[in-house]
Every structure is written in C-alpha cells, then in structure tokens.
Chain A
Amino acid sequence: MSVERTEWDLVRLAGSGDKEAFRELVERYQRRVLAVVMGMLHDREAALEVTQETFIKAFRSIGRFKGDASFYTWIYRIAVNLAIDHQRREWRRPLAESTRNNNNSESPPEDILERIRDQDPRGDPFEATKDAELRERVRKAIDELTPDHKAVILLRELEGLSYEEISRVMQCSKGTVMSRLHYARKKLQARLKEFV
C-alpha cells in the first residue's frame, strides 16, 4: 500500500534531484498553472510553452525553496512573471510580424463553423454558436486588461487565491491587489454587461 506523500515531502525530494517526485508536483499543478497562463496569453501553444518553462525554472530553483510559503504560491509567481514577460515580448514584436500572425489567427467564417462543430458535435449549432460568441466576447474583454490586472483577476476568480496570496505572487501590497481586482471586475462587467 502506497502512502500519499505530502507536498512538502515532494518538494524536499525534488530538491535533492528526485525527478519522480517533481513529476508528481507537476501533475498536481500543471492544469491550474496552465489555466492562469492561458487566461493571460489566449494562445494555447504559447501557454503550454510558458507552463513548461515555469516547471523547468521551478526545478532549477527548488533546492533553494525554503518552504515558508506554499509551493503553489511560489509556482504561480514564476508562471505569472513568465507570462507577463512573454506578453511584453509579444507587444514589442515588429508590427509586420504581429499583423501577419493576427491575420493568420483570424480564421474565415467556414473555419469558425468547423471549429464550433468540432468542439460540440452533438450540441445544437445555434447554442454552440452563441456559446462560441460569448467566449469570444469574454476573451476580448480579458485581453483589454493589462497583464497585472489579468493576473490578479485570474488568480482570484479561477484559482481562488486570497488577497494575501495574490499579493505574494504579484509582489505588491494587499491594497494594490484590491484596487486592481476592483478595476478589473468593473471593466469586465462594463464590457460584458449583457451577460452579467
């Protein structure tokens, strides 16, 4: 009978180079980290890349993790910083390149319908279309936020982190977390007023 190891056991073992222990940590947190990064980047491949980089960076540094903060707060901090870096790099890309990529991402209507069918083959096409439109609206509204506002609202609404935990992840005061959260919610509610 195997005894389930605690997070701290896994962290200590991974710190001494135990890859299996680290794998268990990755499997525990990969979905949550991916969700936050995906929320920030809105690009599946980029989100996967940043998530992978997050865990590689974590493994490199885990030997120095003191454990006086929770592992997930620490891992979110790495992930959010990498996602913000990624986003800033994207913003600095030459205009021509970003325009080219944007054009690629704007699929023709037949592709959208195909995508909707692929996503929900059994569902009502009208419902699927409405659902896709709604998600697109939500996505656009999130994209209008700054990286810091995005990170704060995603950590709160998706992951349920407390203000204290968010302030540790974002390296800012609790007051700043509260004001960013308030601003982000107000802005999203204004953008999505038909739905909320």
Chain B
Amino acid sequence: MNCREAERLIDTFFDGELDGRSMRDAAMHITRCKRCEAELNGRERLQSLLAATIEREIEDVDLSRIWDAVEPALDAAPHARWTAQGFRLAATTARVRGLVLGRRDDSAADRGDDPSLDPAGWSAGETHAGRVWRWSLAGGTALAASVLLAIALLPGARDGEQDATRLATTGAPAAEVARASAPAQPEPLGPASAPPFALASTGDVRGVRSSSKQVQVESVNFPRSSVAMWSEPTSDTTVIWVEDEELTAAGSR
C-alpha cells in the first residue's frame, strides 16, 4: 500500500470501518509512514478537541430542565390510546395524503431507508423544507379546486343553466332558441350576467350569454376595434374574431 491508497482509507481505518485485510494493510503502512501517521494523529486530536469543546458547553446544563419541560407536554400529547374513530380518521387521512402527495414511505424505501425508523412519519422523520414543499402542493391543489368550484357556482353560470332549463321546458319559440344558440348580435351584459372572469379592458363589453349549454358568445368593443368570442363547450370549440376598424377601412378602400 502506498500513501495515496492509505490516505483514501484513513478515515475508514480511523473509524474501524475497514474489513480485516484492508485494516491490516493500512495499519502496516501507517505505522511505517510518518506522513500518514501524522494524518492519523490529526484525526485523533480533532476528535478529542470536538468532544472536549461540546462536553464543556453542556457540562453545567441542568439536565432536569429537560424532563421538567417534557412531562407536562406528554399529557397533551396524542398517544397510542386513540379511539377507534381516531385510528379510522388517521388511516383515511394517510390514504388521501398518499393519493394526493405520493407515498412517502415508498420514496424512503427507494433511497434504501428503513421506514420503521420513522414511526413518527411526516412529523419527525422529515425535514422542514420537505414538509413545506408537500403542504404547499396540497394547499395549491385545494386552492385550485376551490377556484374551479367557485367558477362553477357563479351566478352567471347558474343563470345560464336555469335559462337553458327554462327554454327547454317552456317550449320557447324556435327563434329565441336559435338566437341564443347562434353567434347572434351581441346584447349588453347586465350585472347579473357578468362574465365569470375579468376582461381587462376599458372598452365596451358586450355579449350574449347563451341560455343553453350549446354556445357562448362574448364580445369586447374598443374605440377602434372589437373582439368577439364564440365558444361551444360541448365540442370544445372556440372561435375568436378580432376586428380592427382601421384595417377594415383600409381593406374596403
């Protein structure tokens, strides 16, 4: 063994983590090589220095303070004496958590960890950054679901459904149905039928909210241009017209 090989093994030699043969080879070299012996002695001194420093820092700590603070918290701690209902709730939560966020135990197993080491699960075995990331993901998912639900329940959307029902059930004139389901002349949108999203414009917003689910028409008129949008959710089709008066005028000229 040469110095280069010995240096590579010196930590494992010092920590007693080498197998018998390598241990013997390293010992043979280190006892004969001043440089490697000095390196090993350095490891020993560092170990003593670290231990002495930390020991000194805790030597006058009143250790009874630990139990004094722990004991009162134990009574409040949720414990193994949970009710069956508590167990069911925990199991359901774990299952939902597993579905939404992925199974942590699996990922731990992938890294070769022993899941039994982490009976505290997420609370004790995971770092703060990991928890923040996972709960952010859960929070984001919940927020997105809330937004979608809110959009679905907006007065305009519900009105549309009601109108469609009314048209279908009252046998409204064919002209009215056709007007509602075709890209007809836009009508002003009242407050009750405001679009479920904000149109960022200062222009004149007009539109026809179809009273059926077949078609929706929206338009935005600017001083010199207009945008109209016709969509048919059932066929997942949207047509957008952008009309620029200057271009139209130039074209007609």
Contact = CB atoms under 8 A, between A and B. Distances in A.
Instruction: Determine if chain A interacts with chain B.
Output: yes
Interface of A: 15-17, 19, 22-23, 26-27, 30-31, 34-35, 38-39, 42, 44, 47-48, 51-52, 55-69, 73-74, 77-78, 81, 84-85, 88-89, 134-135, 138-139, 142, 153-154, 156-158, 162-163, 168, 171-173, 178, 181-182, 185, 188-189, 192, 195-196
A51 B77 contact: no
A52 B69 contact: yes
Nearest to A162: B17
A2 to B, nearest CB: 20
Given A56-B70, A135-B56, A192 B49 contact: yes
Contacts of B67: 23, 26-27, 30
B50 A142 contact: yes
A77 B54 contact: no
B66 A26 contact: yes
B223 interface: no
Contacts of A78: 120, 124-125
Contacts of A185: 11, 43, 46
B54 A60 contact: no
B116 A68 contact: yes
B81 A139 contact: no
A171 B107 CA distance: 11
Nearest to A82: B124
26 contacts: A16-B80, A22-B74, A35-B54, A38-B57, A39-B50, A48-B65, A52-B69, A57-B123, A58-B124, A61-B121, A61-B124, A62-B80, A65-B119, A68-B116, A69-B114, A77-B117, A77-B118, A78-B124, A135-B57, A157-B46, A162-B17, A173-B112, A178-B11, A178-B12, A189-B42, A196-B42
Given A56-B73, A171-B113, A38 B54 contact: yes
A63 B125 contact: no
Given A65-B119, A157-B47, A48 B66 contact: yes
B77 A56 contact: yes
B71 interface: yes
A163 B15 contact: yes
Interface in B5-53: 11-12, 15, 17, 42-43, 45-47, 49-51, 53
Nearest to B120: A61
A60 B81 CA distance: 11
A98 B45 CA distance: 33
B15 A156 contact: yes
Contacts of A182: 11
A181 B15 CA distance: 10
Nearest to A182: B11
Dominant secondary structure of chain A at its interface with chain B = helix
B88 interface: no
A163 B17 contact: yes
B128 interface: yes
Interface of B: 11-12, 15, 17, 42-43, 45-47, 49-51, 53-58, 61, 63, 65-67, 69-71, 73-74, 77-81, 108, 111-114, 116-121, 123-129
A181 B69 CA distance: 34
A102 to B, nearest CB: 18
Given A34-B61, A34-B66, A135-B53, A85 B127 contact: yes
Contact of B80 (A63, A66, A84, A172): A63
Contacts of A73: 117
A32 to B, nearest CB: 10
B116 A171 contact: no
B52 to A, nearest CB: 8
A48 B120 CA distance: 21
A15 B15 CA distance: 34
Given A142-B53, A178-B12, A196-B45, 6 more contacts: A26-B66, A57-B120, A57-B123, A68-B114, A162-B17, A189-B46
A51 B54 contact: no
Contact of B128 (A62, A66, A84, A196): A84
A44 B57 CA distance: 8
Given A38-B54, A157-B50, A48 B128 contact: no
